[in-house]
């Protein structure tokens, strides 16, 4: 079974993020969900991003891995992808990566994606954050350059569609993402 370090999105460690993590746990995997916001949650992305900048959320995410073993799968929702991608690319022993709603250019953290680290990227095809902010291009470039990278796009324009506590929640897409994630983890 896999051990996953899963980072929350800009709204904080919400019940919806915890529910998604619990679904992975039910498949027999260990999932760590550090609270990078010290219990704070937000109702708007702008509020959450302001808090993230204030506390240095990416650095907190990297520090969260320090006391955990190597050999982790690093995952993140939107803002949480920053720390997950940095760790997957730079921390020795990464077993895999799961990026939800976001992807950064590989060059942010090195010259290339590690060839032995599989990655899945999941997003909505018309999500303005994913499409307009360059994440789609970054994801396509990652898939083109890494032998074990997969990009899955789903119909719709919702951003945080995996969080069951938000208006953007898409139960049907979440079911498909969950199945793909569990298959990915089982194959490691």
Q: What is the pLDDT of residue 31?
A: 98
Of 77, 60, 68, 63, nearest to 6 (Cα)? 77
Longest dimension (CA), the chain: 38
Q: What is the pLDDT of residues 84-105, one digit of tens each?
A: 999 999 999 999 999 999 999 9
Confidence of residue 4 (pLDDT cuts 50, 70, 90): very high
Which is it for the CA torsion 179, 183, 186, 188, positive or negative? negative
- Tokens 């498909």 found at: 176
State both tokens at 8.
């929350």
Of 19, 21, 48, nearest to 36 (Cα)? 48
Q: What is the pLDDT of residues 167-182, one digit of tens each?
A: 999 999 999 999 999 9
C-alpha to C-alpha distance for 11 and 160, rounded to whole angstroms: 10
**Contact status, residue 82 vs residue 61, Cβ threshold 8 Å:** yes
C-alpha to C-alpha distance for 141 and 177, rounded to whole angstroms: 21
Q: What is the pLDDT of residue 33?
A: 98
Q: What is the pLDDT of residue 91?
A: 97
Hey, what domains does the chain have and what are their CATH numbers? 3-186 (3.40.50.1820)
**Contact status, residue 54 vs residue 12, Cβ threshold 8 Å:** no
What is the value of pTM for the model shown? 0.98
Mean pLDDT of 136-160: 98
C-alpha to C-alpha distance for 14 and 84, rounded to whole angstroms: 18
What percent of the chain has pLDDT above 70? 100
Alpha carbon dihedral 164, 168, 172, 177, in 10-degree steps, equals -80
């Amino acid at each position: 079974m896999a051990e996953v370090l899963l980072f929350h999105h800009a709204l904080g460690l919400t019940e919806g993020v915890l529910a998604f993590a619990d679904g992975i746990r039910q498949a027999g995997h260990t999932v760590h969900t550090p609270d990078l916001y010290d219990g704070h949650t937000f109702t708007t992305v702008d509020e959450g991003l302001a808090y993230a900048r204030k506390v240095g959320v990416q650095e907190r995410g990297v520090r969260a891995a320090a006391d955990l073993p190597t050999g982790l799968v690093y995952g993140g929702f939107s803002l949480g992808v920053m720390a997950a991608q940095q760790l997957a690319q730079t921390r020795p022993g990464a077993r895999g990566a799961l990026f939800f709603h976001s992807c950064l250019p590989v060059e942010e953290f090195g010259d290339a994606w590690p060839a032995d680290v599989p990655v899945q990227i999941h997003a909505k095809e018309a999500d303005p954050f994913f499409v307009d902010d360059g994440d789609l291009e970054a994801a396509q470039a990652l898939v083109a350059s890494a032998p074990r990278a997969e990009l899955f796009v789903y119909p719709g324009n919702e951003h945080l569609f995996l969080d069951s506590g938000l208006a953007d929640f898409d139960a049907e897409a979440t079911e498909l993402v969950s199945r793909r994630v569990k298959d990915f983890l089982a194959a490691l």
